[in-house]
Structure 1
Amino acid sequence: MYRIFITADVAKEAKEILEKEFIVDIQPNMEEDELCKVIADYDAIITRSQTRVTKKVIDAAVNLKVIGRAGVGIDGIDIPEATKKGITVVNTPESNTIAACEHTIALMLSMTRHIPQAHQSIMEGRWDRKSFTGIQLLNKTVGIIGVGRVGSNVAKRLQAFNMKTIGYDPYIPLERGQQLGVELTDLDTLLRESDYITLHTPLTDETRGMIDKEAIAKMKDGVRIVNASRGAVVDIEALAEALKNGKVAGAGIDVWPHEPLKPEENPFLGLTNVALTPHLGASTKEAQAGVATDVAIGVAQALHGEPVATAVNASPITKATLNVIQPYFDLCERMGNIGIDLAGGRISGVNVEYTGELAETETAPLTTAVLKGLLAPVLQQTVNFVNARGIAEERHMEVREVKARKGHYFTNTISLTIDTDKGTHRITGSLFDRKEAKIVSLDHFRVDFEPKGCIIIAPHEDKPGMIGQVAGVLGAAGININGMQVGASNDKGINVMAVAVDKDIPTAVLPSLMNIEGIKDVKVIHCEH
């Protein structure tokens, strides 16, 4: 009988489900050395953020088959090491959606009607109605940054208050916004037009500090801000200053750049126009029960060898199929990486065409690899071979597979076509001798480069000196060129330059490249994010 070790204060539902068929032991919040001494006896472990499952722990866990995370974040789990050891990692990404949504509404109402301050006034024996005059939500405009699971639920509830809902989310199609009753806009428009702004975005390089001094300056005077997503999305020092000078009328904050929040790190101390909570977004009985139930079911499924919808690092494929498609997985994922850099708009359709030997086998896992490569760079949530299709469906991306016996130029090819609101892009890749991956066409250009590292794609006029000028700009910026190749297109007089470089391109270099006479466009694509 399998043994499961719970190292977290998880709701009783987890133990009740698992004890029906497994041996379950519980000892919350163990330190690494303590855990290493006992973990060898267990087939599965369930943790929360307090317990880290490090390489040292995994090395000691000679029988471990499953790591269950009772929550979304998997920062404390060494995923690569677990994957190397064949250990399935399961988390619970959806269980707290409604709890986070409702807490957002609670913060919005609390700081709008000054509820924390009014409560404190009453507790101090005062009756001071005039100091706590609020405003109504009716007919106000709320800007939702991140219209995913939580953001879309917030929109639905605020529409019941007769608020106008606008949103910024570059990774969902306009049709999805229309279905939700959310008018999708660019970020500057949202900042300029919103009476309220609520954030529901993952923490990425793009979103870190997105609400800073410059962003606040673009907002309406008297705007109100709620953040129940990720602490580092907001520059809290800049927000505190705006609350003091009146640019921002109120704020509701649940998440912090560093947790637990220390008094000396809290710039809101003494302010009377804020509602602050210690990361309570998921802290409801229902959410905690949901997390416990979901992680227990996922761990049980994994121990039974069944597919797990919330597995972070596993996807079942038959051995016969794997023998054919395994060499193509990396190519497919990197084609997805290239696709998201080329897209430049909201993706509505993804078409993957297979030719040659791939037309004769099951290619769904390869399409999933394409989606994983396409979605993972822009989402904070883990995107894997199990959930990539579901995430694409949530974002209303139409995913199609086409199989043909012959490709245009090569025997075995994979062609990825991405439809966006700003146009269509097509990438074709192939394997040579079933091991050497190459991108052989990009949009209407013939190319020949390995999908590795950072590549500059520059359509240009077919005339002397173009290569030298590009090399000169890159050299002056201290960027080493690993390889360069020029391909022709169907447009007479226009070629494309593919330049492989040894590091990412600083934003400041791009204008210099664009200013070269004859350069039509410059795109930087990352073949591995």
Structure 2
Amino acid sequence: MTKPVVLFKPAPQLRDRIFTPESWRRLTDSFDVIDYEARPDDEDFARRLPTAFAVIGQPDLDADALRSAPDLRAIVNVEGNFFPNIDYPAAFANGTRVLGCGTAYSQAVAEYSLALALDIARGITREDHATREGSTAIVSATTADSILLRGAAVGIIGYGNLGRAFHALIEPFNNETRIHDPWLPQSIIHDTGAIPASLDETLQTSDFVFMFATATADSEHLLNAEKLDLLKPGARLVLVSRAAVVDYDALLERLQAGKLHAAIDVWPEEPIPADDPFLSLNNVVVSAHRAGGIPQAFFSIGEMVCDDLELLRDGLPPARLQVAAPELVTRYRNKPVG
């Protein structure tokens, strides 16, 4: 029996990063996998596309290419974001599912966000650096600005995969949690035990604010100077989603003035320039875009790909990967991670 053809072109992702030997064997046992990482050949890719069952990767696929592939059931983005590299209306008209692996990173980013929050709540990194540089201050001399996460007012901006994973993680801290997400009805937020809130209310009332919003035309510089000024004095801000949602110049001014603390994992320019002024601030924990990209998260991508392609082969809908929504996918303004 002929196996369905899967075209594998994962760049900038790497096969050995996302597939264990076992999951790669599982994929190749179930499908006729043409590996263009091992043997790049754009002409061969275009020639085989009309017979393909699925594409794993994020190559450019315009409307003509998609119309040439009537049996293409899935395009699986294994980088982590939905990009404007596909003619999405043509894909949907073709009956092609566009799937993303963003859910693979949710738990890793959630745990990292919790770690960042505890760090800026207690000055852990700051005092580590101070002690290494010769400070002899101990006990209360180093804790005047420390606060507890337990019982604190928490604001979550964006309640997709990351927001939900994080919310579950902080449940034992007994927080009063407000959630702002204009793409969700209030009933969903009510059902979690949290308080649906406007952006302004979330910023004004929260001791800790977690930015999980994705980048869209509407969310660019969502936290601008005006919104940042709504934060409480001494508030803790954790940024782990997309740099485009924050005005970094305005944020820098307020951090330099000592108005708040921040932990930042995403940056307008990556790698972070050596002379970036954020690097000189001791009320900022600097992280080099490393919240989600850990081996366990990467290897889960391969497992998710196998699970959902097998389901689609058997005439069932995907269950693990994120399905691109026609109403949302063209709004995203995500950029590839270097």
Query: Which of the five TM-score ranges fits, normalised by the shorter chain?
Result: 0.7 to 0.9
Q: Which has the higher helix share?
A: 2
Match of 2:296 among 286, 291, 294: 286
Cα 1:311/1:157, change in 2 over 3 Å: closer
Aligned CA-pair RMSD = 3.6
Contact 1:54 1:76 in 2 (8 A): no
Cα deviation, 1:348-400, whole Å, max 9, x if unaligned, reads: xxxxxxxxxxxxxxxxxxxxxxxx67x53897599xxxxxxxxxxxxxxxxxx
Partners of 1:180 and 1:381 lie apart in 2 by 28
Cα 1:89/1:270, change in 2 over 3 Å: same
Task: Give 1:105's aligned amino acid.
Answer: L
Task: Give 1:186's aligned amino acid.
Answer: S
Structure number with greater CO (CA < 8 Å, separation at least 6) is: 2
SS of alignment partner, residue 167 of structure 2: helix
How far did residue 259 of structure 1 move?
Answer: 4.0
Cα 1:379/1:260, change in 2 over 3 Å: same
Residue identity over aligned pairs, in percent, reads 26
Match of 1:308 among 314, 318, 333: 318
Q: Which has the higher strand share?
A: 1
Cα deviation, 1:258-277, whole Å, max 9, x if unaligned, reads: 4444446x441211111122
Cα 1:57/1:276, change in 2 over 3 Å: farther
Partners of 1:141 and 1:379 lie apart in 2 by 31
Partners of 2:32 and 2:84 lie apart in 1 by 25
Contact 1:52 1:76 in 2 (8 A): no
Contact 1:254 1:277 in 2 (8 A): yes
**2:282 paired with 1:276:** no
Cα 1:168/1:21, change in 2 over 3 Å: closer
Per the normalisation by structure 1, the TM-score is 0.52
Q: Determine the structure 2 residue equivalent to 1:296.
A: 306
Partners of 1:261 and 1:187 lie apart in 2 by 28
Task: Give 2:297's aligned amino acid.
Answer: A
Match of 1:92 among 101, 113, 122: 101
Cα deviation, 1:43-81, whole Å, max 9, x if unaligned, reads: 34322xxx643449958x979834321254121632346
Task: Give 1:213's aligned amino acid.
Answer: A
Per the normalisation by structure 2, the TM-score is 0.77
Cα 1:127/1:41, change in 2 over 3 Å: farther
SS of alignment partner, residue 285 of structure 2: strand
Q: Determine the structure 2 residue equivalent to 1:73.
A: 81
How far did residue 291 of structure 1 move?
Answer: 1.8
Match of 2:230 among 209, 218, 223: 218
**2:161 paired with 1:209:** no
Q: Determine the structure 2 residue equivalent to 1:251.
A: 262
Contact 1:118 1:132 in 2 (8 A): yes
Counterparts of 1:189-204 in structure 2, within 5 Å, are 189-204=201-216
Partners of 1:57 and 1:255 lie apart in 2 by 36
Match of 2:42 among 36, 39, 43: 36
SS of alignment partner, residue 256 of structure 1: coil
Q: Determine the structure 2 residue equivalent to 1:316.
A: none
Cα 1:57/1:73, change in 2 over 3 Å: farther
**2:195 paired with 1:183:** yes
**2:57 paired with 1:105:** no
Match of 1:234 among 235, 246, 259: 246
**2:319 paired with 1:376:** no
Cα 1:35/1:76, change in 2 over 3 Å: farther
Name the larger-Rg structure.
1
